[in-house]
Amino acid sequence: MPGIFGQIVSAFQGILSRGFWFGSFLPVAVFAALNVILLQYVSPANNDLLTRFVSANWVWTAPIVAALIVIAYAIAPLVPLCRAILDGRLLSDRLYALLCRYPDALKTRAANAATESGRRLGEINMVRLSAQTRFAQARADGVALAAADHMDLVDRAKTAVRRLEGDLGRSKAPSMQTLRAAVDAVVNALKENDATQVEDLADIDSRMRDAIGAMRNNAQARNQRLLERLNAMPQDMRPTDIGNARYRSERYSQNVYNANFEFLWSRVQTVIPENDPAAKRIEAARSLLDFAVLSLVLGVALLTIWLPLLALEGNALVPFLLLGTLGPVVVRLIYQLVIEAQISLGEVAQGAVDRFRFDALKMLHIKPPATLSAEREIWSTLSDIAHGDAPNSDMVWTNPS
């Protein structure tokens, strides 16, 4: 029997790609095994089903594996449909608008946070520039007095600077009121005392400048981080994170080359040589995405079916609790894997478009453009024609070789 099993696998390997084994067969096999394990708790008569399957005689192994391969092969074409549901393209208009409320709110909060951080950075920069001038003038005025009769002002300045440094040391953003109060305290101490006679004033001046610089650096880093988060969000938010990831990756061809992604990508893939490293990267990225999408769908189906069945079975408390607690966590991790796999495939696709788009034009017998604007016009015209619109310009054909 092991020889027959090996022959079956070898025969399928000659037909199916490595992407199929990882992207389609592996999720089906894993979740089939999980279903067999859970079936033993619901149906005591099948408590040795898994043992019989892996027994020494291997009687049912080859037929079952062959059946799993057929099931995976039949399910594989449904993965794009599942992707379209997960990214929101096949949702009804009402459900689409309802689900978009949350991502729209997230983008609004992100925009408000970025605006507020930019405003705060601007205020800190103004205080920093003003403080440099005020410190220099106050120091000159204090030296002109040639006296140090207001040590209480020096103590107040120390306290204000120490408070500012304490907030920074605790990674707490000091308020603008605290910053301005500290600047005023240092200015008053420098203005009413001769800095050449009070050693602490030079130290207070230096520490205050360092604190303002640290506040500015922190505010600038936070503003840049919030802007990057905002810019990562698409202009028109999709109802799901998967949809947003797909939109960002596919929007690249439209922004750079004014070409519809689906139109351009399908033609770029036809001109990529099979032995090219780009083809292997595309297959790996696509198989990872297929694996994640199919695992997510099967995981949700497993929870939906088995949680009620285990709840009705009185002797299945432990598997019910394990599936009820770990299942949603695993599904959420797989959902995040779908997002990351979509981003990865998008990055690979962008590189392939940049590299092979002229080869696609040669395949279409279109004269290569001399400028980016001319190329954008070509792709725009082809995309419009593909969608049934009237062309706004003519094409220049080249003689086929």
How many alpha carbons fall within 13 Å on the CB side of residue 34? 20
Q: Which residues, in sequence order, are bridge partners of residue 148?
A: 193
Which range is least confidently modeled, 60-74, 200-214, 253-267, 332-346? 60-74
Kindly tell me the sign of the dihedral angle through the C-alpha atoms of 119, 120, 122, 123: positive
Greatest alpha-carbon pair distance for the chain in Å reads 104
Q: 328 in the Ramachandran plot: left (φ > 0), alpha (ψ -120 to 50) or beta?
A: alpha
pLDDT, one tens digit per residue, over 36-81 is 888 877 766 555 555 655 554 556 677 888 888 889 989 988 999 9
d(CA 227, CA 153): 41
Cα–Cα distance measured from residue 149 to residue 191, given in angstroms and rounded to the nearest whole number:
11
pLDDT for 323-342, tens place per residue?
Answer: 999 999 999 999 999 999 99
Helices of type H across 146-175: 151-169
pLDDT score for 39: 81
Which residue type, as a one-letter code, is found at position 376?
A: R
Share of the chain above pLDDT 70, in %: 89
For the chain, what is the mean pLDDT?
86
Token code pair at residue 30: 């894993």
233 vs 15, higher pLDDT: 233
Residue 294 corresponds to which amino acid?
L
125-132: Cβ within 8 A, 24+ apart: 125/216, 127/176, 127/179, 127/180, 127/183, 127/212, 128/212, 128/213, 128/216, 130/183, 131/183, 131/187, 131/208, 131/209, 131/212, 132/209
Global confidence as pTM? 0.78
Report the C-alpha gap between 205 and 202 in whole angstroms: 5
Return the higher-pLDDT residue of 364 and 48. Answer: 364
Instruction: Determine the average pLDDT of the residues in 81-94.
Output: 91
Give the ranges where 193-276 is alpha helix by DSSP (H): 199-232, 241-257, 261-271
CA 47 to chain centre: 43
The domain ranges of the chain are: 2-78, 104-232, 241-386
